[in-house]
Chain A
């Protein structure tokens, strides 16, 4: 059984259909890259999986660990082990990162019938994970994302992922807006979190992220459907040739 199984998914926003029959299977331990031009539905896929309610699902199904994902509230999805790293992480003025993550971690633990972490254990965990993903501990002493640079926000997302220890992480254009050094740090964090139980879906416009994180599978999303799948070499082909030839093939105008 796949960890995540998406079958013939159709999703629309205000009567405008964006996903038009998308299917994808992800197994534990695998890293899948989803690439595609702007407007192909990449971020919609991430939002639908995380449970944003701006979308109407007219057809199709999504199961996560065998359960109907679309029936779950967003917080339940996360507690079940799904994690979305946001393309644009949201600032929460005045909300301490400590308080925010402690509420998050303990909500997840409660759901998994684990004891709540004590303050000292929580602080230990935070320190350990910040070191693990190479995050400046000063950032954990500030309000959530408030006044962070673009790069700091992306790194904080990877840190939050490490804290919540998901089975499936969806990274929505985590590479966008990063310079090469920041990209390296973020990628290192992700690579460290890679293991045989955890799967990743990397959503990206550019191939360069895949120089740092080598995916098992690459899928090309065009016009709301996956039009081609392959190994890492597909990403290189896209880098060389662009998306136009696939758009033509799929009969979609850019």
Chain B
């Protein structure tokens, strides 16, 4: 048992604030500012990509401009998104002036140091036991740990760029199959200018022996990050994948438009966990990351299963709906979410569970926590198609309010086209009670510790679903964010 006590934990929390807000001082090779065919060609050339991929990017770019011209920025979310000038940003930035790192020995020390500061040691002797990490800064993956060891089981875990070079057939056969670039404006933008992310391939019958994780870091100013991740799990395979994200504190907003695709074949199981801690902007609502993300899983095989678990605490604006298409008969989709907003943060997040196959099941548990002047919405769709006999869904959406200036909203959509479906929806809204706070104080506990206890208790059911290595970190992060939310 660890000797680290809750008390240490709360002390740490008090001292921390947004401890990820520093900037790594390293030269950066950037694409010319703005978005054009030239930008796309530049990125593709930097990454020495094959012709088919450049073509794909250019088609996506054309589609993006078409949607933009038609004014098709998604406007249905309960968000107030300031106008984004897509020409006033950089779309590619290579830290340390290099587009590719073949060995960790080539990575500049300041980058390694700063990842270490973020709690991500990249040299394998120091690396977290049992967790393989792909570390992405701005547009480039700087290192991936335990690659060779995983390869012994036939598992491919590498940066997306590397996969394009070394496993082009796998990438080509799967990318864009779950989230086509025509899906939405941000998906089109990502498909045009995506830089790095991770590629995971789990062969038939293999249970991945360690947690796979990607750590995303935005470093450069005025630079968007366009992560692209693809996970393919073959028949009977299993993998637990985890992503973490942070960014420096900057006055101006930063754009993060990611696409994540998961494909699970027969009897395969994928757990995808996120601890999202992008810079949320200042207490007055200045700066921060705009997090516009399309994440979707295709449970294509019989009895396949995908679980999304997320702790969302960062970003000025979050627009994110990790979803499951339950195509295989007996496939299972799960979505577990804790979204915390404070100050002037806005979050519109939830999921879509699309039941296509027979006997498909889905579970949604969403817990929103709002403090300060923030707005926090759950938006979810449960759809049961005509052929999905005996589909089951259970949804539970809870909201917790801290103070009386914040907002919590729930937008559940349910479309049932098969009469054998069973769908349950529960929703609650509660306030952190004065009675609960006073009860803790009457036991000698400070107001801040009391709030930490109560909120972590509320979120515990979800945090417990995160991989063990990250559950404590997640609890800590939630408490850091709660700092200053009393009263």
Contacts and interface: CB of A to CB of B under 8 A. Distances in A.
Interface size on A, as a range, is 35 or more
B457 A95 contact: yes
Nearest to B446: A75
A52 B445 CA distance: 14
Interface string A138-167: 000001000000000000000010001000
Interface stretch (A4-12, A20-28, A96-104, A219-227): A96-104
A74 B438 contact: yes
Contacts of B79: none
Interface stretch (B2-10, B176-184, B370-378): B2-10
B71 interface: no
A164 B445 CA distance: 12
Nearest to B460: A94
A70 B340 CA distance: 36
Contacts of A110: 7
Given A78-B441, A92-B436, A92-B439, A103 B10 contact: yes
Nearest to A146: B457
Contacts of B456: 94-95
A164 B444 contact: yes
Contact of B7 (A52, A78, A93, A106): A106
Nearest to A84: B442
A95 B459 CA distance: 10
A200 interface: no
A73 interface: yes
B113 to A, nearest CB: 32
Nearest to A166: B444
Interface string B419-447: 00000000000000101101111111111
Contacts of A240: none
A103 B6 contact: yes
A118 interface: yes
A96 B464 CA distance: 13
Interface in A33-85: 50-52, 73-75, 78-79, 83-84
Per DSSP, chain A at the interface is: helix
Per DSSP, chain B at the interface is: helix
A17 interface: no
Contacts of A93: 457-458
B440 A100 contact: yes
B156 to A, nearest CB: 39
B445 A75 contact: yes
A103 B453 contact: yes
B461 interface: yes
Q: Which of B439, B454, B456, B459 has the most CB atoms of chain A within a 10 A radius of its CB? A: B439
B442 A50 contact: yes
Contacts of B10: 103
B7 A104 contact: no
A107 interface: yes
A95 B439 contact: no
Nearest to A105: B444
Nearest to B1: A119
B438 A78 contact: no
A103 B435 contact: no
Sorted from nearest, which 10 A-B pairs have the closest CB atoms?
A94-B457, A95-B457, A78-B444, A90-B439, A104-B443, A74-B441, A94-B460, A108-B444, A107-B444, A75-B441
Interface of A: 50-52, 73-75, 78-79, 83-84, 86, 89-90, 92-96, 99-108, 110-111, 116, 118-120, 143, 160, 164
22 contacts: A73-B441, A75-B442, A75-B445, A78-B442, A78-B443, A83-B442, A90-B438, A90-B439, A94-B456, A94-B459, A99-B453, A100-B440, A100-B453, A102-B7, A103-B6, A104-B443, A105-B444, A107-B7, A107-B444, A111-B444, A119-B1, A160-B443
